[in-house]
Structure 1
């Protein structure tokens, strides 16, 4: 039983003491460990912050790669997420600093809002808005009730807007570098917001074409040219967005070792289907039961194909992706409303998966096989969460079919 915990007192004025630690030398790289000034975040006292947090395993929201995240309530009554950094590991501190710097200086409806931070002795905590529906990863791969098609398209559009802002609208271009389903958080209305900016980097400016950096991120999402050369561009994020787009439409993980040999990698499995004019039909998540927009499915698979280009220069800008996605959440030409087309699509999926007619429904096979645990570590890694770790937001409400 957890004792009653007093709420946080009113946070200090929005005038944090910056810099938090001595400024780094000019030309700092990935090893930078300082925070730059921002007017968008409060500085919390560690003692007061801890008083306002319910430190109970039953109340933790999820395991974060670098620490723990759980809900707390500042004196205003606002529910917030408090992210606490593990005390060991210099890499974790660098990522914590990067998140403070980026989220503290960037403001957009599709980025998680940083409310404050605590940097006191060995305490490293971030306070940001609480996202009640949890991560996209949880809804796609852990919940039994599938996200409706229109909701998936709404999430894709919101995430695309967040990336477009970072690449093309921010005062200085930002490369996200770790775009994946577990970093896309959802509010009550399934509006997508990007979180976890620990690996983000300032983009190239002037006549520079790329940023050279250590290869870090999540295996299955990282762009091939970045993995091979360490050259990071905004088109690296476009590639990662394409992978998440494929996860949204197929219901498959980017990497799944529980699938047959040759089908582990989602991109390689999807590539031949994307090259066929009608191949999009065999990519659709069978969990949707045909409740997809035929026109929308065709457009989104063509978009995925464009983002798939091996030459990063051929991939579209995220602002172009946004324009393509804008009408898709509202399209009403649902395949399930055409029984003949739905049965044809279902038969094609059964044939592709190799199940004889009369076998158990596809919901017991294929895209619905138990997903492999994917261990998440920093550096180029296998993404996702292992089955042994607590599922985030287990009480997340069931989505409504109207996408709200």
Structure 2
């Protein structure tokens, strides 16, 4: 009998688990958002939250139960092609495609039209008529713009320790177990909870995406004054201030390290001199070094930041190369960046001019591509 009770105590964590709310149950649950009396929902400059009184750091201003959120868990990089993108040959093919396609389809005038003229100004609808061709695309952009993503966060499950306490008291009075045996079983279960909630999630490849009604009213800032936390013991999502906030000041949080590409696509605003709006030159360096150009090896270590760099150069880099969230340097390397970009364009023109595309139609298409590249080259 004593062995059976000990076995039950050790198996408790595996018997009871706290599952994340499903979509169906979340939709059926009424939202119980708790907003601090010091906060109000403002529509004077777009939908946002503002303080009615001065707030000190670590002030709880908003609470949303986990049952009122919609969440799902997905693998990280689910659409990524593993290992393939690390091959230089693959990268060179993709760069050539960007040069020939993106430059011809995204002229400067149209791209510049899509940029707001002032900080956080809404983009006029006429500037993005092709941004959503289908209802599915509109829906997915809406979902993405309202989703908070992170690694799985633990929520305390009270059932195992409460059940353990009840069985321990019962087994002790029945004379089945001793105090030392109960202490040993409790220690093992405590170790399991720590491992399950705080250690194991760090080594997983899962990512949790949640829609948090009410909290998604709060706007983004690279220097936020508040943050969103998950209370381990209550399971509530809480917004807590990180610094002093004055009366009438807007409440802001961070959506993450977002480039202006991402902010424009999903939120329809951009941040002037965004520190995360950077462009890696490692791609150019790999290309040049692959072609035997030593300069490319040196340039491959450089990254150009949006701040302090000519706008036209940034637009061209945006069209030709992928954005990067790597740490940025200042714009003092602008001339070197232009030199490398000129080299890339000249090489692509030379390759195209030496190719035979067969019939007259394809040759005409090739000449058109060469013309686009030469026009871009003239700018530098």
The higher-RCO structure (CA 8 Å, 6+ apart) is 2
TM-score by length of 1: 0.23
By percentage of residues, which structure has more helix?
A: 2
Larger Rg: 2
